[in-house]
Homo-oligomer: A and B are copies of this chain.
Amino acid sequence: MTRTRSSSEIRDASRREVVRALVVGGTATRTDLARSTGLSAATVSNLVSELREAGLIADAGTDNAGTGRPTTVLRIDGEGGSFLGIDVAETYIRAVVFNAALTEIGAADVDVDEAWSSVDRVADALLSAVDQALDRGGRDRDEILGVGLGLPGIVTREPWGAASPHGWASHIRELEERVRPHLPTPVVTANPLQAVGHSEIWFGTARGRSSAVVVNLGTGVGAGIIVEGRVLRGATSTAGEWGHTVLELDGRTCRCGRSGCVEAYVGVPGIRHTLEEVDAEHDLLRLHQRDFVHGLRDAVDDPAVVETLARTARYLGIALSDIVAVLNPEVLTLTGWTAWALGHALLPDTRAALAERAPELTAARLDLGVSPVRVNSVATGMAVLAFENHLDSRALARRTRPRTAPIVSVNPLPPPPLPQTPQPIAG
């Protein structure tokens, strides 16, 4: 039944823990790994042997610090394989190649603002981004151990408009079918909300936490939900569509066609709408998406901007309190480019609105802040998902220890494994 886990699932989870500890920590002895994962020394030794055999763990010298004999220090072998993370967003597609230490080694962006009118054009853009990223990373397709393809959920129904009787969801499926045969295998898919959940579990505020919610703020908004240390996918893989929950009955019309959605208040078009209500003639309204948001960030003395940010923070705090009331997480983290730009400005009023609205204890004990994981959090999360998939027992067994000659490394000694610039904002 649903509640029991088989011993091979437990072993898979333990293997992920060991790899994650090394990816995040850089180096560790077997003793360190046993301590940080909570696994027994024997289990750690078994898993390390298996992962060395698969070419994913290498020696990084010896530790002579203790009183006993020196112990081997381990690290991820960055050259043990590569993973590809792909972020299909509404205005761009980004492909990123990571080595096995999850260090970014090549990336490419392609704009698709206009391309969404045709599945063919989006598919071409996606495959072109992949080729460029592989090229920049100096990797061949057969060195890729897995691909994580992040596909948007119900972000909007509009681009396909009346032209499509089947709506956005069927076009996404069509896109997936079109590109799959041209990608390295295996390919795993998820939506971007689930991807940022994986990023936060490996590199961010959800590390070692049982429950967390990662709220992604941008043009669209949504939430990655982590329960018992795992990202919630849902029955039809669309969990986390918090952006289309209702904030105001019969309120503003959302891009998705519904009314009163959270996204219509705290997504970028929603923030623009609020500024229009405050001052319909405001200069910033002439700017596009990112310039508009950066303009808000830099105009802190402008009364109309101050009022707009105050209203946005209140909307955000109330909308977040809904997810806190339902899920009661330990941690609530804001991420995405709007959060990185405006998080500092929004947090105090957001926190106040949340505290007023959420159930008493939930808000008091909540760890609220902006994610330290920056840049490519969706692509990183998708690569994590591909890596986790690769680490499952059958996938690992399939991979025989490969090359007889050493391969010249593009980055022979990987830098510390965080592919982002950590800039934690105090909760």
Binding site for B on A (CB under 8 A): 1-5, 10, 13-14, 16-17, 37-39, 153-154, 167-169, 208-211, 223, 225, 227-230, 232-242, 244-249, 251, 258, 315, 318-319, 321-323, 325-330, 357, 359-362, 365-366
CB-CB under 8 A for A37 and B246, given A327-B234, A359-B153: no
B169 touches A229 (CB 8 A): no
Known: A236-B362, A245-B326. 18 other contacts (CB 8 A): A2-B229, A3-B228, A4-B39, A5-B10, A154-B360, A167-B360, A169-B360, A225-B326, A225-B327, A227-B227, A232-B328, A234-B327, A235-B366, A242-B325, A244-B325, A245-B245, A247-B249, A258-B357
CA distance A232 to B328 in the complex (A): 9
CA distance A51 to B230 in the complex (A): 32
Residues of B within 8 A of A240 (CB): 326, 328
CB-CB under 8 A for A17 and B3, given A329-B235, A362-B235: yes
Residues of B within 8 A of A3 (CB): 13, 16-17, 228-230
A13 touches B4 (CB 8 A): yes
Binding site of A, secondary structure by majority: helix, strand, loop or mixed? Answer: loop
Looking at the assembled complex, report how far the CB atom of A158 sits from the nearest CB atom of chain B, in whole angstroms.
14
Residues of B within 8 A of A329 (CB): 234-235
CA distance A325 to B360 in the complex (A): 24
**Chain B residue at smallest Cβ distance from A211:** B235
CA distance A38 to B153 in the complex (A): 34
Residues of B within 8 A of A242 (CB): 325-326
In the assembled complex, 22 residue pairs joining A and B whose CB atoms fall closer than 8 Å, in A order, are A2-B228, A3-B13, A3-B17, A3-B228, A4-B17, A10-B10, A210-B235, A225-B327, A227-B228, A228-B228, A234-B362, A235-B328, A235-B362, A237-B328, A238-B325, A238-B361, A242-B326, A245-B245, A246-B246, A246-B322, A249-B251, A323-B326
CA distance A141 to B249 in the complex (A): 51
**Chain B residue at smallest Cβ distance from A223:** B326
Q: How many monomers of this protein are in the complex?
A: 2
CA distance A10 to B6 in the complex (A): 8
Residues of B within 8 A of A330 (CB): 235
Residues of B within 8 A of A229 (CB): 1-3
Most buried by B among A1, A5, A37, A228: A1
Residues of B within 8 A of A211 (CB): 234-235
CA distance A53 to B395 in the complex (A): 43
A239 touches B209 (CB 8 A): no
**Chain B residue at smallest Cβ distance from A256:** B359
Taking a contact as CB atoms closer than 8 A, the residue among B168, B225, B232, B248 that contacts A249 in the complex is B248
CA distance A322 to B249 in the complex (A): 12
Residues of B within 8 A of A246 (CB): 246-247, 318-319, 321-322, 357
A359 touches B2 (CB 8 A): no
Which 3 pairs of residues, A with B, have the shortest CB-CB distance? A234-B328, A2-B229, A245-B322
Residues of B within 8 A of A328 (CB): 232-241
**Chain B residue at smallest Cβ distance from A206:** B2
Most buried by B among A237, A242, A359: A359
Looking at the assembled complex, report how far the CB atom of A228 sits from the nearest CB atom of chain B, in whole angstroms.
6
CA distance A209 to B3 in the complex (A): 10
Residues of B within 8 A of A247 (CB): 246, 249
**Chain B residue at smallest Cβ distance from A9:** B5
Residues of B within 8 A of A361 (CB): 169, 236, 238
CA distance A239 to B227 in the complex (A): 12
Looking at the assembled complex, report how far the CB atom of A277 sits from the nearest CB atom of chain B, in whole angstroms.
14
**Chain B residue at smallest Cβ distance from A153:** B359
Looking at the assembled complex, report how far the CB atom of A293 sits from the nearest CB atom of chain B, in whole angstroms.
23
CA distance A247 to B322 in the complex (A): 10
CB-CB under 8 A for A318 and B360, given A2-B210, A326-B241: no
Looking at the assembled complex, report how far the CB atom of A191 sits from the nearest CB atom of chain B, in whole angstroms.
10
A244 touches B359 (CB 8 A): yes
Residues of B within 8 A of A248 (CB): 248-249
